C-alpha cells in the first residue's frame, strides 16, 4: 500500500491568481477525507504579504473536521512560521529548505548552510513541543539556476534534519527537472545510507511531463509515500516554470491499474477534481477527469 500526502490545499492553491475562500478550502479537504485520503498538507505558515493565498491558515485549521487517523500538515519556512504553527493544533510540521545556494539566496537570502542551521533549531523546538516534523528538501533533483545539485548536498541536509528531530524526509523536485533513472538512483542512495526504515517521500512537479514516470521509478526503488495534488493543481511563487504537481486522481488510477492499494475511492476523488475545476473557474491539468476511468 502507498501513502498519499495530498498537497492541493497548500501547494495546489498557493500560486493561483484566484483567491479561494476559507470555506472552499475546508470543503475541499473534507471531500478528500471522505475519499479516504488521510495525510493532507492543509496550510502554510508563511508571510501573508508574500503568499496571500495562505493567509487564513489558522482559520482553516480551526474549521477542519477532527477525525481519527487523519493528519493535517502545515508548511514552515522560518522561526516566525513555527511560532504561528505552535498556536494551532496542526499535527505535523513540514519544514522546508532547498539544497541549492543559488535558489536559496534568491528566495530566502541565505545559503543552504545558513538555512539548515536555522531550521534545525526550528525542528528541535517543534519536536520538543510534541508535534511531528518532516523535512522537505527542495531542488533535490536539480536547480533552475545551477543545474545539477550534487547528491552529497542533499544527503548532508537530510542528515542534519534527521539529527535535529525529523522523522520523515521528503525529496522535492521543485521545478520538474527529475528523470526516472535519477529518481531511482537517489532513492536507493537514501535507503543505502539511512536504512530501509527511513520514511522517505517524493514530491514531483509535472513541468516536463515526467511526474508519474518519476513516481513509478520511486515506487520501484522502495518509496511508498508520495505527494500529489488534486486535479494537478500546483506551482511555486518562488520557482520559475514550476507548473502543477503530480495529479492525485491520475496517480491513484495508475496505482489501481497496477493492483497497488491506495486506501482511496477513485470515483470519489475524481468527483472532487471536477468540483475543484468549477471552483477555480478554469480548465485544470488532470487527465483522468477528461478521459474517465477505464
Catalytic residue from among 143, 166, 236, 247: 236
* Residue 238 pLDDT level (bands cut at 50, 70, 90): low
In angstroms, the CA 54 to CA 100 distance is 25
Residue 108 is predicted with a pLDDT of: 83
Backbone φ and ψ of 190, nearest 5°: -65, -45
Q: Which residues of 6-25 are buried (b: 16+ CB within 10 A; e: fewer)?
A: bbbbbbbbbbeeeebeeebb
Kindly report the average pLDDT of the chain as a whole number.
95
**What is the structure's pLDDT at 219?**
98
State mean pLDDT over 88-106.
95
* Percent residues over pLDDT 70 in the chain: 97
Distance CA 68, CA 192 (A): 34
The closest of 147, 67, 79 to 119, measured between CA atoms, is: 79
Q: What mean pLDDT comes out for the span 209-233?
A: 97
Summarised one tens digit per residue, pLDDT across range 248-269 is 999 999 999 999 999 999 999 9
Q: Are 214 and 183 in contact (CB under 8 A)?
A: yes
- Pick the closest to residue 149 from 126, 127, 173, 129 (CA basis): 173
Cα 162 to Cα 97, 108, 114, 189, 198, distances in angstroms: 14, 22, 17, 16, 10
Query: Rounded to whole angstroms, how far apart are CA atoms 254 and 264?
Result: 13
Structural domain spans, the chain: 3-291
Comparing 59 with 106, the larger pLDDT belongs to 59
At 15, give phi and psi (nearest 5°). Answer: -105, 5
Give the pLDDT confidence score for residue 241 in this predicted structure. Answer: 57
Higher pLDDT, 223 or 106: 223
Residue 17 has pLDDT above 90, yes or no: no
Select the more confidently predicted residue: 119 or 243. 119
**Phi, psi for residue 271 in degrees, rounded to 5:** -65, -35
| Alpha-carbon distances of 67 from 23, 38, 91, 178, rounded to whole Å | 18, 9, 12, 36
Domain 3-291 is found in CATH 3.10.129.10: no
Rounded to an integer, the average pLDDT of 90-95 is: 98
Q: How confident is the model at residue 234 (pLDDT cuts 50, 70, 90)?
A: confident
Residues 269-284 have a mean pLDDT of 96
Cα–Cα distances in angstroms (integers) from residue 268 to residues 36, 244, 275, in the given order: 9, 21, 11
236 classed as catalytic: yes
- What are the two backbone dihedrals, phi and then psi, of residue 116, each rounded to the nearest 5 degrees? -65, -40
Q: What is the pLDDT of residues 164-181, one digit of tens each?
A: 999 999 999 988 999 999
Confidence at residue 239, expressed as pLDDT on a 0 to 100 scale: 57
C-alpha–C-alpha distance, residues 223 and 100, integer Å? 23
Angle separating helix axes 248-257 and 266-280, nearest 10 degrees = 160
Taking the C-alpha atoms of residue 150 and residue 253, their distance in angstroms, rounded to an integer, is: 33
Amino acid at each position: 500500500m502507498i501513502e498519499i500526502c495530498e498537497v492541493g490545499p497548500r501547494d495546489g492553491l498557493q500560486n493561483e491568481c484566484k483567491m479561494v475562500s476559507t470555506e472552499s478550502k475546508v470543503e475541499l479537504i473534507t471531500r478528500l477525507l471522505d475519499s479516504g485520503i488521510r495525510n493532507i498538507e492543509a496550510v502554510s505558515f508563511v508571510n501573508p504579504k508574500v503568499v496571500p493565498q495562505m493567509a487564513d491558515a489558522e482559520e482553516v485549521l480551526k474549521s477542519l473536521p477532527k477525525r481519527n487517523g487523519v493528519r493535517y500538515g502545515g508548511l514552515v519556512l522560518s522561526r516566525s512560521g513555527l511560532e504561528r504553527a505552535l498556536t494551532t493544533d496542526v499535527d505535523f510540521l513540514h519544514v522546508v529548505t532547498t539544497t541549492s545556494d543559488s535558489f536559496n539566496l534568491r528566495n530566502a537570502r541565505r545559503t543552504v548552510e545558513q538555512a539548515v542551521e536555522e531550521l534545525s533549531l526550528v525542528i528541535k523546538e517543534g519536536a520538543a513541543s510534541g508535534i511531528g516534523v518532516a523535512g522537505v528538501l527542495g531542488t533535490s533533483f536539480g536547480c533552475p539556476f545551477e543545474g545539477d545539485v550534487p547528491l552529497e548536498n542533499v544527503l548532508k541536509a537530510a542528515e542534519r534534519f534527521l539529527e535535529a528531530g525529523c522523522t520523515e524526509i521528503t525529496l522535492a523536485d521543485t521545478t520538474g527537472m527529475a528523470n526516472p533513472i535519477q529518481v531511482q538512483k537517489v532513492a536507493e542512495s537514501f535507503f543505502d545510507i539511512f536504512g530501509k526504515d527511513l520514511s522517505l517521500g517524493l514530491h514531483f512537479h509535472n513541468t516536463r511531463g515526467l511526474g508519474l514516470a518519476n513516481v513509478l521509478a520511486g515506487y520501484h526503488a522502495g518509496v511508498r509515500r508520495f505527494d500529489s495534488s488534486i486535479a494537478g493543481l500546483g506551482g511555486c511563487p518562488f520557482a520559475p516554470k514550476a507548473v502543477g504537481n503530480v495529479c492525485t486522481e491520475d496517480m491513484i488510477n495508475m496505482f489501481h491499474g497496477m493492483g497497488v492499494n491506495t486506501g482511496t475511492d477513485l470515483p470519489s476523488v475524481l468527483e472532487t477534481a471536477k468540483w475543484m475545476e468549477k471552483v477555480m473557474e478554469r480548465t485544470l491539468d488532470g487527465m483522468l477527469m477528461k478521459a474517465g476511468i477505464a
